A and B are shown apart, each in its own frame.
Chain A
Amino acid sequence: MTEPIDAMPPSPRHPTPSTLPTQPMRRTRPPWPARQARRRRPVERVRWWTYALLILAVLVSVFPLYWMFVVATTDTAAATQMPPRLVPGDNFFHLAGLVFSTVPFLQSVLNSLLVAGAIGAGQAVLCSLAGFAFAKMEFPGRNTLFLIVVLTMTVPTQLAIVPQYLIISELGWVDTLQALIVPGLASAFGIFWMRQHIASTLSDEIIQAARIDGANSWRIFWHIAFPIVRPAAFVLGLFGYITAWNDFFWPFVVLKSPENYTAQIAIKALQNNRDIDLGLAMSGSFLATIPLIVLFVFVGRRLVAGIMDGAFKG
C-alpha cells in the first residue's frame, strides 16, 4: 500500500468522485445463477506464477542497468566476448578515470545538478503558488485561464525547436545554463497537481481565520498553504528534477562548449565510435545514472506514491 502524499490533512479530504462502473456490474450479474447467500470468501492466495512473472518483470527492468555496470567495470574486450560476460570486473576506476579525462565530466555533473536542482525547486514553488491562486482565490478569468493551463499539457512543443532556438539566440542565451533552466520552470501538470492538493488539504476556515488576523494572500500562501502541501510539492520537484536530469534534446541543441555540457550530453560526447569507445560510454552512462539511483533509494517509495496518487482518481 502506498502512503498518502499529504502528511497531515487538516480537514477531511474530500474523496474524489469515484469512477466505479456500477452499470457494467449490474449488467454482468444476471447471466450467472446467483449462488445462494453471502458466502464471504477470503481473498484468494497469490499463486506462485504471479510471483514468477513479477520477478521476471523486475529482472527485465533492472538487467540493462546491471549490465551497464558490468561493462563499465571491465572494458570493451568484455563487451565483445562470447558468450557475454555477466559478472563485474575490477576495471571500474580505470574506466571512470578515463571518462573524467576525456570530457570535463565532473563539470558536466555539476551543471546537471545545478540545472535539475533549480528546475525541481523552481517548479515546486511556482506551481504551488499558481495552484494556490487557482484553488483558493477568486479572480475574473480564473476558469478560462485554468482551462488554458490544462490544454497546454497536450501541446507537442518539441517540434517548434527551430523558433525556440531563434528566441534563445535573440536573448543571447545560446550555450548557457539558463537556457535550460528558465523554460523548464513552467509545468502545466505541476499547477494542475498542486491545485488539486491545495483544494483538498487546505480548509477555507483556516484562510478565513488568517484573513481576520490581517494576513494578505502572500502570507497565507507562504506561512499556511505551502507548509501544508510541502510533501506534494516535494514529489513534484522530484519529478521535475529527474526529467531535467535526463533531458537530452533541448540541451543537445542549445549547449555548444564542453564546459557547459550536462551529464547526458557528456555521455553523447563519449560515444563517438560505438565499437571503440563502448566501455567509456558505458562507464559514463553508469556514472551519470548513479546520482539518480542514490536518490531513488531514498525517495523511490514517494515516487511510486506520487505516480499512483497523480491526478488519476478523476
Chain B
Amino acid sequence: MTTTLSPQRAGLPPAPPLTRIRRGIGERIAPYAYIAPFFLIFAVFSLIPLLFTLYVALFEWNPIGDHTYIGFDNFTRLFDDPRFWNATRNTISIWLLSTVPQLIAALFLAHLLNHARLRYALLFRMSMLVPYITSVAATAIVFAQLYDRDYGLLNWLLGLGGVEPIDFTQSTWGSRVLIAAMVTWRWFGYTALLYLASLQAIPREIYESASVDGAGGWKQFRHITIPSLRPVIVFTVVTSTIGGLQIFTEPLLLNPINAQTCGATRQCQTLTLFLYEQGFGQYQFGYAAAIGVALLVLVLVVAGINYLLSTRIRPER
C-alpha cells in the first residue's frame, strides 16, 4: 500500500471558478495539456495493462515463443490448482490478521495522542512514522530474524515465560502471523495519524459538555469519537484491503531459499507471489494473467463487502 487516498467519495469538484482563463486556441487547449501527462501515463502503464490482462489470460502465452488462444482453459486449470487455493487462503488470512489489529491499535493510539496537554506530542507522532519510512525489504529481513525459531528475540522472550519456540518462518500460521506483524508494524502509526487528524476536528466542547453530563470515557468514545471518525475509518478499511490483498515483498524475502514460493511447502505464498512465480519464474504469462484476474475479482469483492460493512458503523439509536 503506497498511496494515501482521500476518503471523499467520488470527487465532486467544487463550483466553477469565478475566473475564466479562456482566450484563443492556445489557451483553450492549455488545460488539456496540463492534465495530459497523468492521463497518458495512467493509460499506458495502468489502464491498458489491466485490460490487456483479461486478454492475455485467454492465451497460452510464452514470452519468447507462441501465443495460442485457449479460451478459458487457464481459469479452469486455476480453479483446480491447489496451489491457487493455498495462496488465496494465505492472502485472506494475512489480510485479516494485519488489518484488524492495525486499525484497532491505530484508533487506540490516536485516542491517546489526542490530548490537549500531551507533552512531546510531535516527538511521539514522528516516532510512529519511523516504520513507514523503513523499506519493506529491510523490514522483512529484520522481522524474519526477530521471529527466528532458534535465535529470535521474540522466541527468547517467550522462552523466558516457558513457552516452546514457535517456528514462525516455516509453519503456516506462524508465517501468516509474522507477515501480518510486518504489515501492522509498518502502518499502525500512519493510520493513527490519519485518525488523530479527524479526532482533532471534533470540538473539545462536545467532550466537555458530555463529561459535565456525566458520560464517562467509554461512552464518549462510543458516542462521539467513533461516529465522527466514520469517513476516515471507511477509507482506511478500503485502502488497507486494496494493499493487504496485494502483499508481495514480505513473503518473497521471508525464506531466501525457495523465495518464490515463500518456503518449501508454499506455507506463506500469497496470490501476488504466486502470480510472480508463474509469470516470471515459470514464464507462463497466460496463466499468471489469469491469477491477476482472479486477484482483481477478489479485491473488488472484498473491498465491496467491507465498504458495505463499514458504512454500517453508525451512531446507535
Contact A308 B126 (CB under 8 A): no
Q: Mark A259-274, 1 if CB is under 8 A from B, else 0.
A: 0000110011001111
Identify the stretch in B41-49, B79-87, B94-102, B172-180 within 8 Å (CB) of chain A at 4 or more residues: B41-49
B27, CB-defined interface residue at 8 Å: yes
Verify B214–A32 contact, CB threshold 8 A: yes
B18-29 interface code vs A (CB 8 A; 1 in, 0 out): 111111001110
Asked if B62 is at the interface of the complex by the 8 Å CB criterion, the answer is no
A257 at the interface (CB under 8 A from B): no
Query: Are A61 and B189 closer than 8 Å at their CB atoms?
Result: yes
Q: How many residues of chain B get a CB closer than 8 Å to chain A's CBs?
A: 139
Q: From known contacts A19-B231, A67-B142, A248-B137, infer whether A130 and B41 are also in contact, taking CB-CB under 8 Å.
A: no
Interface flags for B192-204 (1: CB within 8 Å of A; 0: not) read 0110111011111
Counting contact residues on chain A (CB < 8 A from B), the size range is 35 or more
Residues of B within 8 A of A164 (CB): 45, 49
Q: Tell me the nearest residue of chain A to B255, going by C-beta.
A: A274
Nearest CB of B to A31, in Å: 9
CB-based nearest A residue for B294:
A159
A185 at the interface (CB under 8 A from B): yes
When A146-B13, A152-B46 are in contact, do A24 and B223 touch as well, CB less than 8 Å? yes
Does A147 have its Cβ within 8 Å of any Cβ on chain B? Answer: yes
With contacts A41-B212, A81-B151, A154-B238 known, is A46 near B145, CB below 8 A?
Answer: no
Are the C-beta atoms of B30 and A160 separated by less than 8 Å? no
Query: How far is A191 from B6 in the complex, measured between Cα atoms in Å?
Result: 11
Q: Which residue of A lies closest to B37 (CB)?
A: A126
In the bound complex, how far is the Cα of B228 from the Cα of A105, in angstroms? 48
> Is B50 within 8 A of A160, CB to CB?
yes
Q: Is B66 in the interface zone, CB < 8 Å from A?
A: no
Q: Which residues of A contact B35 (CB under 8 A)?
A: 129-130, 133-134, 145, 191
Q: Mark B90-117, 1 if CB is under 8 A from A, else 0.
A: 0000000000000000000100110111
Is A307 a contact of B194 with CB atoms below 8 Å? yes
A-chain residues with CB within 8 Å of residue B218 when the two chains form the complex: none
How distant is the Cα of A35 from the Cα of B135 in the complex, in angstroms? 53
Main SS of the interface on chain A? helix
The residue among A2, A67, A246 with the most chain B CB atoms within 10 A of its own CB is A246
Let me know if B153 is at the binding interface, CB within 8 A: yes
Asked if A64 and B143 sit within 8 Å, CB to CB, the answer is yes
A102 within 8 A of B: no
Chain B residue nearest in CB terms to A248: B249
Measured between C-beta atoms, what is the minimum distance from B84 to chain A in Å? 14
Q: Which residues in A have some Cβ–Cβ distance to B below 8 Å?
A: 1-2, 18-21, 23-25, 27-29, 32-35, 39-41, 43-46, 50, 53-54, 57-58, 60-62, 64-65, 67-68, 71, 79-84, 126-127, 129-130, 132-139, 142-143, 145-167, 182-183, 185-189, 191-193, 195, 199, 204, 207-208, 211, 216-218, 220-221, 239, 242-243, 245-249, 252-253, 263-264, 267-268, 271-274, 278, 281-282, 285-286, 288-289, 292-293, 295-296, 300-301, 303-304, 307-314
- 19 more A-B contacts (CB under 8 A) besides A80-B150, A267-B137? A46-B119, A50-B112, A57-B124, A64-B142, A68-B142, A138-B31, A143-B12, A148-B39, A149-B11, A154-B238, A167-B44, A221-B34, A249-B249, A282-B142, A282-B145, A312-B198, A313-B197, A314-B7, A314-B231
* 9 residue pairs A–B, Cβ–Cβ below 8 Å: A29-B209, A129-B37, A155-B50, A159-B295, A162-B289, A182-B45, A183-B45, A248-B135, A268-B252
